[in-house]
Amino acid sequence: MTRDSKLKSGSVGSVGSAELLVAIRNLYSRHPEYFHHEPWELVHVLYSLNYTDDLADEVEISAAVEVARTDWPEWRPAA
């Protein structure tokens, strides 16, 4: 099973820093309470929930968060 299929199937696997946008979108979909957290807070959240293999750089997370928040209506689950 590939990492992408694990994320889509509901099994939260570890992802590398290059896949942060996918990880953050997945985090926001499964845990919407994290949507308004700051990137420095998400560093530990992503690591603790096994979305990343290591503590990701706050700058990388910040860039991914910015993209994820701007295109939220396009990928959020239907209510």
Where along the chain do its domains lie? 3-75
User: Is 69 in contact with 63 (CB distance < 8 Å)?
Assistant: no
pLDDT surpasses 80 at 49? yes
User: Is 52 in contact with 12 (CB distance < 8 Å)?
Assistant: no
The predicted model gives 51-56 an average pLDDT of 85
In Å, what is the CA distance from 55 to each residue of 2, 44, 72?
22, 7, 24
Which tokens belong to 10?
Answer: 């509901």
- Is the sign of the CA dihedral 45, 51, 55, 61 positive or negative? negative
pLDDT above 70 covers a percentage of the chain that reads 67
Output the pTM of the full model. 0.69
